[in-house]
A and B are shown apart, each in its own frame.
Chain A
Amino acid sequence: MATLIRVLLALALVLGGAVVAPARAQEGVRLVEQDIKAGLLYNFLRYTEWPERRAPTPTVVVCVYGRDPFNGRLAPMSGRTVNGQAIRVRFVDAEAEIDGCSMLIVNAEERARWPALRAHLVRRNVLTVSDYEGFARAGGMIEFTRVDNRIGVRLNLAAAQAADLVVQDRLIRLASVVESERP
């Protein structure tokens, strides 16, 4: 009997609450990890200034070096426009193919190739991105990090500046600025 009363009381409490309470407020944005990173990359394209080219192109090319680390979640970015240019996503696996890229995403599996890639990219205005630990300290510009359930960015501003790229304050404020490791 006591149990029955307990159950009824609990039921009444909960149902009453469910009826009276307003709809659940959105607690915050929840997304899959690769979606967050893809969104952030789109914003880096938006809030970074590349040096003016003699012949401005209608497209901005985002290259992925190695296998696709986004499990297909970057593909929707293709075809969108940012700052008046259409985005194209290309997959490359050789250094020779990265001419013409505005942004280069290096799959973490290819980290051993990063020093060679970095040497190849000198004096080209390419925004480099990866998500393995140590990328920013090794001269990469944007390193995705994850602390508990949030994605963060380590930004190597000096490396971006050396490539003539200006990242706007709005993103610098949200990121964690790091410096390259002294050799």
Chain B
Amino acid sequence: MIRRAGRWSLLAAGAALIAAPAAADEELDPFELSPEQLFGAEVISASRTSESIWEAPAAIYVVTSADIERSGATTIAETLRLVPGVQVARINTSGWAVSVRGFNSALANKLLVLVDGRETYDPLFSGVYWDVQDTALEDIDRIEVIRGPGATLWGANAVNGVINIITRRAEETQGALLSASAGDVERAVVTARYGGRLGDNVHWRIYGRAFDRAAQESLAGGSDHSAWEAWRSGLRADIALDARNELTVQGEIYHSETGQMRLVGALAPPYASLQNEEIVAEGGHLMGRWTHETSDDGRLVAQAYFDLTRRNQALLEDRRTTFDLDVQYEFPTIGARHDLIAGIRYRNSADRVTETELITSPHRTHETQLLSAFAQDEIRLSEAWRLTVGSKFDDNDYSGFEIQPSARLQWMGADQTVWASVSRAVRSPSELEREFNIILAAGEIFGTLATIEILPSPGFDSESLTAYELGYRRQWNEALAMDVALFRNEYEDLATLSTLAPFVASDPTRIVLAPILTTNSSSAETQGGEIVFEWAARDNLNLSLAWSVLDLDVDGPPAPLAIDSEIAEGQSPNSQATLRAEWDASERWSLDGALYYVDELPAFQVERYIRADVRVGYQLTANASVELIGQNLFDNQHREFTNPSEANAAEITRSVFGRLTWRH
């Protein structure tokens, strides 16, 4: 019997507290198994994740692999729509604006995204290039999203939230997998993976993935030229060196080509031309992780990776090499009360930018180093009360020494838990802000070249956040779980584009009509919350409702000194809601639906929209399944982000595709 219901992680977590039997894959009698089989048995259910959700004093949401499959999402960015409090706005086929709890932009910089512990943020602009975040989605174990500052355990960019994409271990992805999708926008997506083993101690897998996606509709009608072709290949090996030591090696290489319409400036007439910008990105990384359990129950994890990227766009070409070494130690429980974890980290990121007329820098290469240490103690005050205190200490080349402390208090009852926290987080300056001169527009005045430019701002310092959060989780009964998180974020020293008086510059000789300096002159407050209900309405029917609200209030210096702060306020929606249903209609048929509501974005004149996705799945044989997926069914197209006057403004179209998956 093939049961495909994925138990949502919150429900699975809470239900495990109450006597809720989970469905086992086989009807095996554990009392008939040998000890060797039992020690080697794989645990069904995301129970470890579940424990970490239920007991975590933070606003955490886990997207399970079943969620990914049944939502029909085909990219990592799209899977994040499932998460309450996360704003996902699709710009075009290969571009997204993703943020948590506000401050969304195409260059959103307050979010940290990790893949198996490897940071994906680019120090050039302190953000994430979503067109190169991809992997075999079928081999993702889960995506953990923490809303709120995760700064104490992760990086100096984890200001509004942390997204941690965790892939499955090699022993869980043995055998062959082949998945092929074809449709109108998702023209072709193929993933092939094979996993094997060498003896009992080494498990490995290798995969390849390629896709070809169609462009979206430009506002004037016709293609917006954002068609996207990419391929990626990767491997993973998990090696059990002995009972206490394990080594994991992972690597990937990729190549992506896409494009968009862009108004490209120039320093000679006609000063601006509409071009079909080609964006080529390629790279690879290699990572090793060693886990060692000490004889007194401590756990040491050391991880190192090399990451190479090269990105070529009309405005710049950037080649970057990153080396990162991270060592963490979980102390054995001290006095049955203290769970200490501490770590140090060194990161070196160097890039070489090929300049263009419009983007220049006094230095052609930039190297930034970061030395970081953290410590956290989880103190069991009593059976029901837990206090977690910790801090991260960073020393980075741009802003020097920073401290990011955090304190969390939690009370745990039999089927409910309350937590509260106060934390500080910083967003360190990016290379673009500190070192680059960017000419935004050029023209001619009185026969002389005149420009509007953003100057390098060596005085620009880190932005900071103090976050106050409160959360409540309750398992109402076996079938209904609820999770509420409230927050108030106070931001200071936010990046502000402050205009100065015009001056004359040379090389080339020009009048800088509107010189812009990036300063730390704005502050802001956001407050809001998210609530999630998960309901196992029937044995074969799961329903989920998530609703989030956000109120963003920016205090910048008044215009004309600064760019209008109302724009920042109007770039994130005031509310979002998601309603999902997963139904195992019969042994072979499964039906899933999702409704997403996103409120308007006044800054971009984007209207509120409701998006409907449907997936119909049919299990052909024990090994093969076929699915029909429709996305954006209500609307044949709507715009989700960017000003209508922008060259790359596009309407996201309806997408229908079929997918065949075969496993052996």
Of the listed stretches B30-38, B389-397, B423-431, B481-489, chain A binds B30-38
Residues of chain B contacted by A73 (CB below 8 angstroms): 21
User: How distant is the Cα of A23 from the Cα of B187 in the complex, in angstroms?
Assistant: 31
User: How distant is the Cα of A136 from the Cα of B295 in the complex, in angstroms?
Assistant: 12
Tell me how far the C-beta of B620 lies from the nearest C-beta in chain A, rounded to whole angstroms: 7
Q: Tell whether A163 is near chain B: CB-to-CB under 8 Å.
A: no
B24 contact from A28, A32, A178, Cβ within 8 A: A32
Interface residues contributed by chain B, number (CB under 8 Å): 63
Q: Tell me which of B35, B293, B660, B664 has the highest count of chain A C-beta atoms within 10 A of its own C-beta.
A: B35
A10-B180, A39-B30, A137-B333 are known contacts. Are A27 and B39 too (CB-CB below 8 A)? no
User: How distant is the Cα of A63 from the Cα of B244 in the complex, in angstroms?
Assistant: 32
A: interface residue count bin: 35 or more
Q: Tell whether B183 is near chain A: CB-to-CB under 8 Å.
A: yes
The answer on a CB contact under 8 Å between B21 and A72 is yes
A174 contact from B16, B39, B333, Cβ within 8 A: B39
A138 contact from B171, B183, B336, Cβ within 8 A: B336
B297 contact from A36, A111, A137, A148, Cβ within 8 A: A137
The answer on a CB contact under 8 Å between B21 and A71 is yes
Q: Which residue of B lies closest to A25 (CB)?
A: B175
Q: Tell whether A14 is near chain B: CB-to-CB under 8 Å.
A: yes
Q: Tell whether B47 is near chain A: CB-to-CB under 8 Å.
A: yes
A6-B188, A30-B42, A76-B31 are known contacts. Are A15 and B48 too (CB-CB below 8 A)? no
Residues of chain B from 476 to 524 with CB closer than 8 A to chain A in the complex: none
Q: Tell whether A134 is near chain B: CB-to-CB under 8 Å.
A: yes
Q: Tell me which of A11, A72, A149 has the highest count of chain B C-beta atoms within 10 A of its own C-beta.
A: A149
User: How distant is the Cα of A109 from the Cα of B662 in the complex, in angstroms?
Assistant: 44
Interface SS of A by simple majority: mixed
B30 contact from A3, A27, A38, A112, Cβ within 8 A: A38
The answer on a CB contact under 8 Å between B383 and A111 is yes
User: How distant is the Cα of A146 from the Cα of B621 in the complex, in angstroms?
Assistant: 33
The answer on a CB contact under 8 Å between A31 and B178 is no
Q: Tell me which of A11, A13, A31, A133 has the highest count of chain B C-beta atoms within 10 A of its own C-beta.
A: A31
Residues of chain A from 130 to 175 with CB closer than 8 A to chain B in the complex: 133-134, 136-138, 146, 148-154, 170-171, 174
User: How distant is the Cα of A6 from the Cα of B22 in the complex, in angstroms?
Assistant: 39
Q: Which residue of B lies closest to A11 (CB)?
A: B660
Residues of chain B contacted by A152 (CB below 8 angstroms): 39
A32 contact from B22, B339, B621, Cβ within 8 A: B22
The answer on a CB contact under 8 Å between A176 and B293 is yes
What does the 1/0 interface line of A6-46 toward B look like (CB < 8 Å)?
11001101110110010111011111110110111011000
Residues of chain A contacted by B447 (CB below 8 angstroms): none
The answer on a CB contact under 8 Å between B35 and A170 is yes
The answer on a CB contact under 8 Å between A109 and B41 is no
User: How distant is the Cα of A36 from the Cα of B37 in the complex, in angstroms?
Assistant: 9
Residues of chain B contacted by A35 (CB below 8 angstroms): 24, 28, 30
Residues of chain B from 144 to 201 with CB closer than 8 A to chain A in the complex: 169, 171-172, 174-175, 178, 180, 182-184, 187-188, 190
Q: Tell whether B539 is near chain A: CB-to-CB under 8 Å.
A: no
The answer on a CB contact under 8 Å between A24 and B663 is yes
Q: Tell whether B559 is near chain A: CB-to-CB under 8 Å.
A: no
User: How distant is the Cα of A13 from the Cα of B41 in the complex, in angstroms?
Assistant: 33
Q: Tell whether B268 is near chain A: CB-to-CB under 8 Å.
A: no
B binding-site residues for A, Cβ under 8 Å: 16, 19-22, 24-26, 28, 30-31, 33-45, 47-48, 169, 171-172, 174-175, 178, 180, 182-184, 187-188, 190, 243-244, 293, 295-297, 332-333, 336, 339, 382-383, 620-624, 626, 658, 660-664
Query: 5 tightest CB-CB pairs across the interface, nearest first?
Result: A39-B30, A10-B180, A134-B333, A29-B41, A71-B19
